[in-house]
Structures are given as structure tokens and as C-alpha cells.
Amino acid sequence: MSENRLLYSECLRIYEVEESFIDSLHEVGLIRVVGLDEERFIEYDDLPDLEQFIRWHYEMDINVEGIDALRHMLEKVRSLQSEITQLRHELQFYKSL
């Protein structure tokens, strides 16, 4: 097994999720499922997002399409927050002149 991947079947067992849920996340591009030597793996880098998606789905009853929309909105908010921070620094620079 690769050091940067979790065996797909282990992921299902550890997180106690349905295979169809993981497959749906993969189909819409929210996580990567990699096939090697007739085994499937999930990238370790995707596990924090996967854990968040599992909470949204099973605790808040949000479907995969809703998860995709929420993820997109959160990325946009983070981008805007970063832009605001950058603009504040630039404003402080020009105020100090």
C-alpha cells in the first residue's frame, strides 16, 4: 500500500460510511479515489475534507449536491477573507506614507 493513501475498504470501515456515499463524492470531484493493482485508495490529503463531508451528510442530512455547494461557498469566503486581509495591509502601508 502507498504511504500517502488509505485503502478504500479501510476507509469505509474506519469512517463507517456507505460505499455509495464515497462514490458519489468521487463522481462530483470532491475527493479522489485512485485505483492501483485492482485496489482502490483514497488520498490522505483528502481525508480532512472527507471527514467534514461525512459530518455534513450524516449529522446534518446534507446531500452530495449540497455538500458541493457548501464547499464552493466556503472556498469563496476564504478567498474573500484573504483578499480583505491583503487590502487591509495595503491600506495600512499607504496610510503610513
User: DSSP string spanning 14-70?
Assistant: HHT--HHHHHHHHHTTSS-EEEETTEEEEEGGGHHHHHHHHHHHHHH---HHHHHHH
- Say whether 97 sits in a helix, a strand or coil: coil
Nearest to 22 by CA among 2, 66, 59, 30: 30
Fold annotation for 5-95 = Multidrug-efflux Transporter Regulator; Chain: A; Domain 2 (1.10.1660)
d(CA 52, CA 86): 28
| pLDDT higher at 24 or 37 | 24
d(CA 39, CA 18): 17
Domain residue limits, the chain:
5-95
Residue range 41-75, pLDDT digits in tens: 999 999 999 999 999 999 999 999 999 999 999 99
Q: How large is the average pLDDT for residues 30-50?
A: 93
d(CA 90, CA 82): 12
In the structure, what pLDDT confidence band is assigned to residue 1 with cuts at 50, 70 and 90?
Answer: very low
